Amino acid sequence: MSLSVGIVGLPNAGKSTLFNALLSRQIANCAPYPFCTIEPNIGVVEVPDERLAILAKIVNTEKLVPAIVEFKDIAGLVAGASKGEGLGNKFLANIRECQAIVHVLRAFKDPNVARESEVNPLADFEIVKTELCLADLQTLEKQQPVNPSVATKDDIKRWETILKLRKILEQGIEVRKEKWDEDEQKIINTLFLLTAKPALFVLNIDEEEIIAEPEKMKQKFGFTEEIIPICAKIEMELAELNPEERKNYLKELGLRESGLEKLIKKGYGVLGLQTFLTAGEKEVRAWTIHQGDTAPQAAGVIHTDFEKGFIKAQVCSYNDFVKYSGWKGAGDAGKVRLEGKGYLMKEGDVVEFKFNL
């Protein structure tokens, strides 16, 4: 399982520059004019995880397989996209395929990059939000009302939920901002609404604001959502460096990690994902699962047969695995547990599954 994220925003917000930095190579075509991106560029990015190299030394392997995130660089949206303006239909269809949305909002000033009005990231987001709400309303208008005389209890619940959704969307409120009960959420999941998707907010800032505190940037531009300030130009420069050079450059900038590393980690949090680890002589690997997944469900991520034939999971925390230098040392110290089908996986569990095929 991997995380699929759509990078969206108005034309010339810096989406393609950010995408290229994510991939550490020039794939998307960057140009200072609208609609440079028509078909979505798709790239798979490794999730930064320093634990893998440490585990590899302990189990004596050179093969590291990190978790991955799939990013889609989607064509810039304009007002009227829900009615097909610009590349609206393509844009909305591409977003629908993603699990989460990264809103890239322009907060930088550059006379060489086209823009019709003053820099105002909050106003830019309102344009995007309006178009997504309108697109969701179009989806809901296609839903057929029920006939009370023949409708089941489930049919009535579904229609009541649709009416509730329409009411909040007409007020310009995103579906994800409201609280829904379990039955309503199941219905919403079947509708694939754009504003129901988890969202992250990236402020593409000027270079001189690179060390600004996110909270200060949030207040400066009037946001209530949590934001991730990123300078896409600097991220491109970082992407062209080797790991050691990148580390030194970040230190010079006064940063502990790059903006892109923050973005990827935030993506996991927003989607409720976590990582478990496997460590053997063949490879060390990070696996992506949902928070709250059981041991059999985690085994199923490796192979569906592992979930079906699950017997037990041999589990050790990452910290104990490192502290006691692997399975044997951790076992001798009483830090290795055998867990059954009801065990809820924890972030950083190092696991070996026992199963029948």
Encode 19-41 in three state secondary structure: HHHHHCCCCCCCCCCCCCCCCCE
Whole-number Å distance between alpha carbons of 338 and 88: 52
- Rounded to whole angstroms, the Cα distance separating 320 from 326 reads 8
- Name the most confidently modeled range: 31-40, 56-65, 92-101, 114-123: 56-65
Least reliable range by pLDDT among 27-36, 49-58, 260-269, 308-317: 27-36
Lowest mean pLDDT across 7-21, 158-172, 225-239, 274-288: 7-21
Q: Which residue has the higher pLDDT, 15 or 247?
A: 247
CATH architecture, domain defined by 292-355: Roll (3.10)
CA distance 68 to 151: 44
pLDDT given at position 88: 44
Identify which of 317, 319, 318, 295 has the alpha carbon closest to the alpha carbon of residue 307: 295
* Average pLDDT of the segment spanning 95-106: 87
Closest by CA to 223, choosing from 314, 103, 143, 324, is 103
The mean of the pLDDT values for the chain is 85
50, 80, 87, 250, 340 from 261: Cα distances, Å: 12, 33, 30, 12, 34
- Of the pLDDT bands very low, low, confident and very high (cuts 50, 70, 90), residue 3 is confident
Q: Quick one: fold of 3-269? A: Rossmann fold (3.40.50)
The residues, ordered by sequence, that sit 6+ positions from 193 with a Cβ below 8 Å of its Cβ are 136, 139, 140, 165, 175
Q: Which residues contact 154 (CB under 8 A, 6 or more apart)?
A: none
CA–CA separation, 22 vs 24, rounded Å?
Answer: 6
pLDDT at residue 167, rounded to an integer: 97
Please give the full DSSP string across 166-225, using - where no structure is assigned. Answer: HHHHHTT--GGGS---HHHHHHHHHHT-GGGS-EEEEEE--GGGTT--HHHHHHHHT--S
| Choice between 110 and 82, residue whose per-residue pLDDT is larger | 110
Give tens-digit pLDDT for 34-83: 333 334 477 777 788 899 999 999 999 999 998 888 888 776 565 554 45
Specify whether the CB–CB gap between 222 and 247 falls below 8 A. Answer: no
* pLDDT on residue 157: 96
Least confident among 75-84, 91-100, 140-149, 199-208:
75-84
Give residue 117's pLDDT band: very low, low, confident or very high (50, 70, 90): low
Does position 29 have pLDDT exceeding 50, yes or no?
no
Residue 70 contacts residue 4 (beta carbons within 8 Å): yes
Nearest to 295 by CA among 356, 357, 333, 350: 350
Written as six digits, the tokens of 303 are 């192979």
Residues of the chain with pLDDT > 70: what percent? 87
Contacts 24+ apart (CB under 8 A), 336-344: 338/312, 338/313, 338/314, 339/295, 339/312, 339/313, 339/314, 339/315, 340/295, 340/312, 340/313, 341/294, 341/295, 341/296, 341/310, 342/294, 342/295, 343/294, 343/295, 343/313, 343/315, 344/292, 344/293, 344/294
Average pLDDT over residues 108-134: 80
Poorest-pLDDT segment among 23-37, 172-186, 263-277? 23-37
Give the pTM. Answer: 0.79
Most confident of 1-10, 169-178, 226-235: 169-178
The CA distance from 105 to 200, in Å, is 11
d(CA 106, CA 123): 10
Provide the pLDDT for residue 26.
Answer: 36
Pick from 30-44, 218-232, 261-275 the range whose average pLDDT is largest. 218-232
What's the pLDDT band for 113 if we cut at 50, 70, 90? low
124 pLDDT more than 50: yes
- Domains 3-269 and 292-355 fall in the same CATH topology: no
**What are the structural domain ranges in the chain?**
3-269, 292-355
In 3-state terms, what secondary structure has residue 105?
A: strand
